[in-house]
Amino acid sequence: MSRLLRFDRPLLVITLGLLAMGLVMIYSSSAVLALTRKGNPNYFFYRECIWAAIALVAMMLMLRVPYTFWKERKVMLSLLGLEILMLLLALVSPAINGSHRWIKIGPITVQPSETAKLVMVLFVAYMLEKRVREGKEWSQVLLPLGLYFGFAAALILIQPDLGTVVVLGVILGSVLLIAGLPWKWLGALAAVGLLAFLVLAFSSPYRMQRLMTFMNPGSDPQHTGFQAQQSLIAAGSGGLIGKWVGGSSQKLLFLPEPHTDFIYSMIGEELGFLGSVAVLLGFLFFGYRGLRAMRSAPDTFGAFLAMGIVAWVVLQAIIHMMVTLTLLPTKGLPLPLLSYGGSNLVVTMAGVGILLNVSQYE
Kindly list the distances between the CA atom of residue 320 and the CA atoms of 163, 333, 344, in Å, as whole numbers in the listed order.
Answer: 10, 6, 13
pLDDT at 92: 83
**DSSP-assigned letters across all residues of 237-267:** HTTTT-S-TT--STTTTTSSSTTTTTHHHHH
Residues 6+ apart with CB under 8 A from 333: 163, 164, 167, 261, 316, 319, 320, 323
pLDDT at 346: 95
CA angle 132, 138, 140 (to 5 degrees): 95
pLDDT at 219: 62
pLDDT at 327: 81
Run of H or E residues at 103: strand 103-105
DSSP-derived secondary structure letter, 298: S
Interatomic CA distance for residues 215 and 10, integer angstroms: 40
pLDDT at 222: 63
CA angle 280, 110, 104 (to 5 degrees): 150
DSSP-derived secondary structure letter, 188: H
> pTM of the full predicted structure?
0.90
SS3 of the chain: helix, strand, coil, percent, to 5: 70, 5, 25
**pLDDT above 70 covers what percent of the chain?**
93
pLDDT at 240: 87
pLDDT at 257: 82
Task: Produce one character per residue of 290-320: b if its CB has 16 or more CB atoms within 10 Å, e if not.
Answer: bbbbbebbebbbbbbbbbbbbbbbbbbbbbb
Q: For residue range 43-62, what is the model confidence (pLDDT) as tens digits?
A: 999 999 999 999 999 999 99
Number of H helices and E strands in the chain, helices first, is 12, 2
pLDDT at 93: 82
In the chain, which residues have pLDDT < 70? Answer: 1-5, 97, 206, 212-225, 362
pLDDT at 3: 62
Chain mean position to CA 268: 20
Q: For residue range 251-296, what is the model confidence (pLDDT) as tens digits?
A: 877 888 888 888 999 999 989 999 999 999 999 999 999 999 999 8
